[in-house]
Amino acid sequence: MELDNRKGERLAEKKSETAGTTETTARRISSFVIVVIFVTLALSLVALYFAVDIYQRNEVAAGYFFLIGFVGLALSSYMLLQMRKRVLKWRIKLPPIITIIECQKCGFKNIREFKRGDYVFKEMDACEKCNEPMMITGIYREIKEPKKKEEKF
Amino acid sequence: MTFAMVVNVSQIAQPFVDENFGWILNVVFYLFFIIFIFYGQRIQMYVMLKEVEGSLLRLKYIKEEGRKIAIETIKEIGKPSHDPSERVDRFLEYFALPPESMDPAGVVWKLEHILDVRDIRFKDEVKLMAPSASETQINNLENTLEAALALNYIYKVVRHFYILGKKTLSLYIIMQLQMILPLVMREAEAYASALKAFAYGQPIGDGVGALVAAKLMHGHEKRKIAKDCVVATVPLEGRTAYVIKAEGPGGNVGKPGEAMKTIIEENDGKISTIIIIDAALKLEGEKPGEVAEGIGVAIGGPGVEKFKVEESLLKHRIPINAVIIKEDVGDAVSPMRKEIFEAADEAIKRIKRVILEKTKEGDSLIIAGIGNTIGIGQ
């Protein structure tokens, strides 16, 4: 319940829709988290500056400052990257759906995007070539998988 | 300016750094050590809760999107005179209670009755929501609403355990929820993509069995055999094949068990074999669209239809074969993939081989394509 009220407001949606394809984006990154990340980033840079500055006089302290600086830098960069990843993850993306219309007599094929009302074995308009009625012979989505390393198993 | 300030801070901090730095670091180190000894588990729990919260927000977003799609589709197709939002919200809360199974005799028929009543109730509701929709569109809208209902239920269950875990601060509740979440999210995402497919009437992966049957019966005369089921008598390799599928192109699964039982009775049990084609869940590592053969009644769902077929098989001692097309849970409810669509032809080849190997010329057999026939005619 608490979650509903508090976080629900943060949902901002952007939606664009074409026939058969939907792309939706939602962002929910609190401004407080962003401020914390950037403050950490700034402090890490200051720590690194201190480290360089006092290196000649106190090597041990400089070492500690280097450590703090690098750890802070790594943490804040990691959090920034994670934030970007989360935004990308929130997209629901569907690949386009293809409808294949085929002439049963001459084999002429027409491939187009899916339209509402299409179904497999639906009779369509006459064929451009032989004037025989055409038919929907296939409706499917094609997924182009990114090239992966060949798996061992 | 900022650079000058940093230089000044560095100069001010210099003596402090020289004298106290090591001491402060030691204190910080011990503090961290103590905090992690006493509060380590609690910190771990909060991290897990945060992770669950993120997924829950995503589930909420998907659920709301589902509701929105359902309402928009009803408005677009059904042209209702009133805003259907209230009725949709009521629909999303529907439930069906399973029958009592303390005395299991006859429980299948009780379950079938409950499922029938549920189905009629759902259809009536959809007709009231979308008065201008055709029979096919009503079936598609019913499927869309059922997907939205499933998403609503998943969200509510996860939210229940999240709040319960937060209230009781029980590591075990939160841990179980966090461990099972990747699978829950996969299912929710599958339903999210199913929503669009149902709303537009696109064939889904689960319908590949129906597609195989449709390809076999296309061009032959069909007749209604059971509720939402059609049969065609097809001459195949010199045998008589009774090809059964759910009646398309609207989204429904029909009663294939009832249909097979009727055909067996019509033929006085003289059926040489039954071949059932269905989509089946693949294991990780297997390719989508792989075809496999086996023995048994390949009908999913609550088990009523499977039970009916098994009863008839036993009575007449009819051999049963199954051809399955493998896909994952996401593919099963989202628009059909090309690999799965193409696997239908491979499945037909397998069916013909089984017929040639297991039956004689002049025999009668049943071929049943199981699955949701949305977007597939006959």
What confidence score (pLDDT) does residue B8 get?
Answer: 54
> Which of A86, A122, A142 comes nearest B377 by C-beta?
A122
Nearest CA in chain B to A26: B61
What confidence score (pLDDT) does residue B153 get?
Answer: 95
CB–CB contact A54 B196 (8 Å) = no
Q: Has residue A13 got a pLDDT over 50?
A: no
In percent, the amount of chain B with pLDDT more than 90 equals 70
Query: How close B256 gets to chain A, by Cα (Å)?
Result: 20
> Which of A11, A58, A143 comes nearest B18 by C-beta?
A58
Rounded Cα–Cα distance for residues A143 and A138 (Å):
16
Identify all chain B residues contacting A120, using CB atoms and an 8 Å cutoff.
203, 211, 214, 248-249, 375-377
Flag whether residue A9 sits within 8 Å of chain B, measured between CB atoms: no
CB–CB contact B21 A138 (8 Å) = no
At B16, the pLDDT band (50, 70, 90 cuts) reads low
Identify all chain B residues contacting A1, using CB atoms and an 8 Å cutoff.
163
Cα separation of the two ends of chain A: 45
In percent, the amount of chain B with pLDDT more than 70 equals 94
> Which of B9, B196, B214 comes nearest A94 by C-beta?
B196
What confidence score (pLDDT) does residue B40 get?
Answer: 87
Q: What is the mean pLDDT of chain A?
A: 76
Mean pLDDT of B192-208: 90
Q: Has residue B225 got a pLDDT over 50?
A: yes
Mean pLDDT of B142-170: 93
Assigned CATH topology for domain B205-369: Rossmann fold (3.40.50)
If one compares B59 and A144, the residue with the highest pLDDT of the two is B59
Flag whether residue A87 sits within 8 Å of chain B, measured between CB atoms: no
Residues A42, A77: contact at Cβ < 8 Å? Answer: no
Q: What is the DSSP letter of B75?
A: I
Mean pLDDT of B264-292: 94
- Convert the pLDDT of each residue in A53-72 to its tens digit: 888 888 888 888 888 899 99
Nearest CA in chain B to A13: B61
What confidence score (pLDDT) does residue A104 get?
Answer: 85
- Convert the pLDDT of each residue in B98-108 to its tens digit: 999 899 999 99
If one compares A57 and B140, the residue with the highest pLDDT of the two is B140
CB–CB contact B203 A119 (8 Å) = yes
Q: Has residue B277 got a pLDDT over 70?
A: yes
SS3 category, A147: coil
Show the tokens assigned to B257: 């068990």
ipTM of the complex, rounded to two decimals: 0.83
Show the tokens assigned to B72: 């928009």
Show the tokens assigned to B266: 């019509």
Flag whether residue A151 sits within 8 Å of chain B, measured between CB atoms: yes
SS3 category, A27: strand
- Convert the pLDDT of each residue in A97-127 to its tens digit: 999 999 988 888 899 999 988 999 999 988 8
Rounded Cα–Cα distance for residues B148 and A21 (Å):
19
Contacts of B114 (CB under 8 A, 6+ apart): B96, B97, B98, B99
CB–CB contact B376 A121 (8 Å) = yes
Query: How close B313 gets to chain A, by Cα (Å)?
Result: 32
- Choose among A76, A58, A2: nearest CA to B13: A58
Strands A123-126 and A133-141: antiparallel
